[in-house]
Structure 1
Amino acid sequence: MSFEQKTVWITGASSGIGAALAREWASRGARIILSGRSEERLAEVARDLNTETLILPFDVRDEDALQDAASKALAWHGGVDVFVANAGISQRSPALETSMHVYRDIIDVDLTAQIAASQALIGHMATRGSGRLVFISSIAGKVGVPMRTAYCAAKFGLIGYADALRAELSQSGVEVHVVCPGSVATEVSRNALTADGTARGRSDKAIDNGIPPADAAKAIVDAIALNQREIVVARGMEEAMGEMRRTPDQLLDQVAAMVASGYMEKMQAED
């Protein structure tokens, strides 16, 4: 598919995969909405984009700010064609040492806030009969990885929400994509939360040697253009793990067929 003159809204767009996705989509002629907490950093990204842009800074945990941003995004060019739920934070701490507030903070940012953002848009997309929701999960959303119990819980949950939502919207014209990146060369490890909730402050060798963000972004957008529902972007052992745990298309089709046959209407009639 072509993204020319489509409106793409990306959260977590001030750096890393989010900024790279903004550049990739802009190169394909899309209009870009950039969101993140820092207006200054978003403006830096916008200056590199050879396309029309809108900056909507907010903290994804602030639902009032989110709703306001969604209203502005929908009004900008009459709708959002692609929404990318990319905002997130990682973890580097053993479960035995990790405070519960770290679990709540990571799940709030990586899962609950992403659900809230998509819920603010799905009514518009379903009514219009078109749109794409893109959820940036992780290989750690498919395989439990040590030192990331909170992160894995959130990213596994994001895939579950996306898969169920895809089935529910399968008759509406709205497409849902799940992206599972492996190690990408970003600041994700440096910004990861430790056991007490402070930032780790240093990176991992695997991350530093990871896929360049521009390469990851191109692979992601190429796969979305081909309408792939689950997209693994990884190398080596991480790619093998992601492919081993990939949800078969036949299973996704089977669940969508349940919706097509009236499953939801039958469930609602029983209430």
Structure 2
Amino acid sequence: MNFNNKIIWITGASSGIGKSLAITLSHYDCKLILSARRQTALENVRAMCKQPEQIAVLTLDLAETDTLTTVTETAISIFGRIDMLINNGGISQRSPIIDTSIAVDRKLMEVDYLGTVALSKALLPHFVAQQSGHYVVVSSLMGKFSSPLRSAYCGAKHALHGFFDAMRLEHDKDNVKVTMICPGFVNTNVARNALTADGSKQGDQDEMTENGLDVDVFVQKMITAIRKEKFEAYIGKFEKFGVFVKRLSPRLIHKLVLRSKVR
């Protein structure tokens, strides 16, 4: 597939991967809808894009699932249809299981899983009616195997794979595509914004994230995966091979992660 004449809706578009995606895709012959919670930040991203007149800004909060049907109706009305939803919005977490409030687990599930699912379900009748549509879901390598201090995040990302695998099966007949994007370490503010045991933000960067893929390099690889309509794409440095090690030996990936510096 290509992006020409497509209408693409991106969540989490105010920073990080979403921001880079918006700027990169604005150089194609397509129209964009940029969503996140912060109107001003979205407007700033829009101003950085090529042909900003082809880009709309629509605020939403993935935690407010009851509002997402109305938000979706508004999104469809902006350009008359939507061809692709890039589910990029979400938060991360860094804290030991034993110390982590259940409210943090709930928050991760509400935003990363239920928010994404609610938005995707709200858009599904539109995709079915036009007999085409493409969901791109930014999951994580942590949706395929786990590491310490990310229990709530890993749980939410694993859940996304279960849901969207079912979506792909049920709506193959409707030409609805699903691409799961699984980033490894990408140099964004995801670690700084990660929730700690009491729900406060971590506030600082970790070494592995700091040394991760440049976000613009990541986005180019992500775009290639979307073009190829891949079912899943694992994008990172050495850490992406953990997916294949897990398939061969769950015990081995356990030992390798324990020995790593991933904390």
TM score, norm. by length of structure 2: 0.90
**Code of the aligned partner of 2:36:** G
- 2:85 is the alignment partner of 1:83: yes
- SS of the equivalent of 1:232 reads strand
Give the secondary structure class of the aligned counterpart of 1:112.
helix
Of 129, 134, 137, the match for 1:135: 137
Identity %: 38
Please tell me whether residue 170 in structure 1 is matched to residue 172 in structure 2.
yes
What is the letter of the counterpart of residue 12 of structure 2?
Answer: G
User: Which residue does the alignment assign to 1:19?
Assistant: 19
> How far is the alpha carbon of 1:81 from its aligned partner?
0.6
Residues 1:245 and 1:159: Cα distance change in structure 2 (over 3 Å): farther
CA distance in 2 between partners of 1:63 and 1:164 (Å) = 20
Deviates more, 1:137-146 or 1:65-74: 65-74
**Counterparts of residues 65-76 of structure 1 (less than 5 Å):** 65-76=67-78
2:60 maps to 58
**C-alpha distance in 2 between matches for 1:243 and 1:186:** 25
Cα deviation, 1:160-204, whole Å, max 9, x if unaligned, reads: 111111011111111011010000000000000100110001011
Instruction: Look up the match of 1:241.
Output: 242
C-alpha distance in structure 2 between counterparts of 1:24 and 1:9, whole Å: 14
Residue of structure 2 in register with 1:108 after alignment: 110
Amino acid at match of 1:192: A
Task: State the match for 2:149 in structure 1.
Answer: 147
Is residue 10 from structure 1 mapped to residue 1 from structure 2 by the alignment? no
The answer to whether the aligner puts 1:213 opposite 2:215 as a matched pair is yes
Code of the aligned partner of 1:59: D
Query: What residue identity is the alignment partner of 1:48?
Result: M
2:162 to 155, 160, 163: 160
Q: Distance in 2 between matches of 1:3 and 1:245?
A: 34
Q: How much has 1:245 moved relative to structure 2?
A: 4.9
Name the amino acid aligned to 1:47. A
Tell me which residue corresponds to 2:48: 48
Contact 1:35 1:55 in 2 (8 A): yes
C-alpha distance in 2 between matches for 1:136 and 1:187:
15
Deviation per CA, 1:203-238: give whole Å up to 9, x if none. 1111111111111111111111111110111111x1
| Structure 1 residues 40 and 158: alpha-carbon distance in aligned structure 2, compared to 1, 3 A threshold | same
For structure 2, the residue ranges without an aligned partner over 5 or more in a row are 248-263
RMSD of the alignment, in Å? 1.2
1:221-232 counterparts in 2 under 5 A? 221-232=223-234
SS at match of 1:60: coil
How far, CA to CA, are the matches of 1:197 and 1:113 in structure 2? 18
Give the length in aligned residue pairs.
245
Contact 1:7–1:32 (CA<8 Å) still a contact in 2? Answer: yes
Question: For the residues of structure 2 that align with 1:243 and 1:222, how far apart are their CA atoms?
Answer: 21
1:192 paired residue number: 194
SS in 1 for 2:179: strand
| 1:134-165 deviation per Cα after TM superposition (whole angstroms, max 9, x unaligned) | 11100011011110000000000011111111
In structure 2, give the amino acid aligned to 1:172.
D
Find the residue that maps to 1:120 and give its secondary structure.
helix
Distance in 2 (alpha carbons) for counterparts of 1:230 and 1:241: 14
Q: Structure 1 residues 23, 245: closer, same or farther in 2, change over 3 A?
A: farther
- Segments of structure 1 that go 5 or more residues without pairing to the other structure are 247-271
Relative to the length of structure 1, the TM-score reads 0.88
Measured against aligned partners, the alpha-carbon deviations of 1:6-61 in whole angstroms (never above 9, x if no partner) come to: 11101110000111111222122221100001000000100011131110012111
Q: Is the 8 A contact 2:65 2:114 kept in 1?
A: no
